[in-house]
Structure 1
Amino acid sequence: MSKSTKDDYVQSVCRVILYIEQNYNSDLTLDELSKIASFSKYHFHRIFKSIVGESMVDYIRRVRLQSTTLQFKTNQKITQIAMNSGYETNASFSKAFKKHFGITPKEFAKNAKLKRGNKMLEPKIVKLEDIEILYVRKTGEYTKCSIEAWETLINFVGTEYFIRDDVMMFGIGHDNPRITDADKLRYDACVSWVNKNIKSEGEIQRKIIDGGKYAMFLHKGSYTELINTYDGVSDWIVESGVELRDLPIVEKYLNKNPITCKPEDLRTEIYIPLV
């Protein structure tokens, strides 16, 4: 297979992945997804599994279930969470949830609202505009796949692009590492798309970070300690009773060259999407 053909396959699969993650609560069919990929439905499911490493059905199921985990920290009822994630009945949702996570939704909801004893964090409520980004998706243990994603993105756009004053760097971790197998964690390395002469190709994709209302938390220190700040964010969600938008959490990296910074000097803004 030539490089251009493989890049076309990767682009097609990435389009479908983005569509699934933005529409997982809809009735997604093979016919619909194969049309988005511009492939025959008789071949696309094989191409998808070859590139992603799991079947389209399994991927959709996992995305739907993972999307519910943060909602359990709010005051939503389990029935509403099931409907939000595309399940028609509470029974089908509970069966799939227990098979995936090993516990029932009720047990998970109880655990999700347990406070971990962290110092209560207070966010700044902000409003963002839509941000066009170029991004690379990598899968695996976050500390490893994030490095691979950033190396791929930097090699594509060039190091000089990142030092521009108008360029912003973001990370999107789609899965909770406390409950998702390490080899299934999805991470997007993202950079604001300010130079439209740079076109996406192969695994370099483009999308929009949705604007709107967010709670912004500032993390000070090493990226490896982010998970502890997220525990404090979770406590805030439970205590404040906020309603969350069905969007991923976004990290904004404020240090232009984190490699040369001391870990204690690193700064990361964490954006929680609010209704």
Structure 2
Amino acid sequence: MSQNYEDRIRRVVRYIHENPAGDLSLDRLADVAAMSRFHWHRVFHAMMGETCADMVRRVRLHQASLMLARGELPVAEVARQVGYPTPQSFGRAFRAAYGVTPLTFRKQGVPLVALRQMKPEEFRMFEVVIEERKEARFAGLSHEGSYNGIGAKFEELAALATTRGLWPQMQGMVGIYCHDPSETPEADLRSYAALILGPDADVPEGLEAQTYPAGRVAKLTYKGPYSNMSEAYHYLYGRWLPESGEEAADLAPFEVYLNSPIDTAAEDLLTEVCVVLK
């Protein structure tokens, strides 16, 4: 792990422990890490083996258990000091984690549950190359909700390109994924099914333009079904990016699809997972 990424992880862990009642939102933690919100959550999850939200919940409830064991504060005040808006929401979260209510925990002297013990992460290895790329122009349809549902947008996009005779002006298809699905509620996920515009192509009517500037791009070529793509992201963010010393730009990662499930077996699908670098 490079010192730069180690420092960021440690800074965020300290911040969570020192501010249990503070703003521990995903965007705030990305600010503490001084990293793009598009990439920070993926880096943290892949390196630490748990999501930011999981760590926040675990630390808050552990600190609450210490306060309850001391018996000095009312349950409502314990809830407030660890960032829960009401005793009821605190009670539900505490019982889910410890199996008893906060009051029962205090009365019975339930042994404290140890903090999570980290285990070394195992990564499937991939080759990652850094390429210089020209400006990339995409035009597509936005999708909100589960990434598993974006297939309908790709179908709609392909039909549009076929009926309008756009394929000769296009250079392929990409998917742009703006959030880490392990951190973001499914309803809030945002993604794009897009066409790669040729150098002389205009943005077709009814499609939304996305532009990625010229520069260096880290590219991992994944072979296999789309459903297993998470292991490529896991390696890219959890192993390669920290060890490379590189830093991702403030742009969402994107996937370039080199063949199609229409005429290719799932195990033979080829996808480039791309992260723009600073």
Using the size of structure 1 for normalisation, the TM-score is: 0.57
Q: Distance in 1 between matches of 2:269 and 2:166?
A: 16
Pick aligned residue for 1:118 from 105, 123, 141: 123
Which residue number corresponds to residue 241 of structure 1? 245
Residue 137 (str. 1) matches residue 138 (str. 2): no
Pick aligned residue for 1:209 from 186, 209, 212: 212
Which residue number corresponds to residue 224 of structure 1? 227
Q: Which amino acid aligns with 1:258?
A: P
Which residue number corresponds to residue 174 of structure 1? 178
Q: 1:166 to 1:97 in 2, by over 3 A?
A: same
**Would you say how many aligned residue pairs link Structure 1 and Structure 2?**
187
Fraction of identical pairs, as percent: 23
Matched residue SS, 1:124: strand
Which residue number corresponds to residue 97 of structure 1? 24
Deviations 1:124-177 (A, max 9, x none): 110111122211100111111x11221221232226857649522111011111
Q: Distance in 2 between matches of 1:208 and 1:105?
A: 28
Q: Which amino acid aligns with 1:134?
A: A
Conserved 8 A contact 1:135-1:191: yes
Q: 1:238 to 1:99 in 2, by over 3 A?
A: closer
Q: 1:183 to 1:175 in 2, by over 3 A?
A: same
How much has 1:179 moved relative to structure 2?
1.1
Residue 261 (str. 1) matches residue 264 (str. 2): yes
Matched residue SS, 2:229: helix
Matched residue SS, 1:113: helix
Max radius of gyration: which structure?
A: 2
Q: Which runs of 5+ in 2 are unaligned?
A: 13-17, 34-40, 49-119
How much has 1:113 moved relative to structure 2?
2.5
Aligned CA RMSD, in angstroms, stands at 3.6
Q: Distance in 1 between matches of 2:245 and 2:137?
A: 30
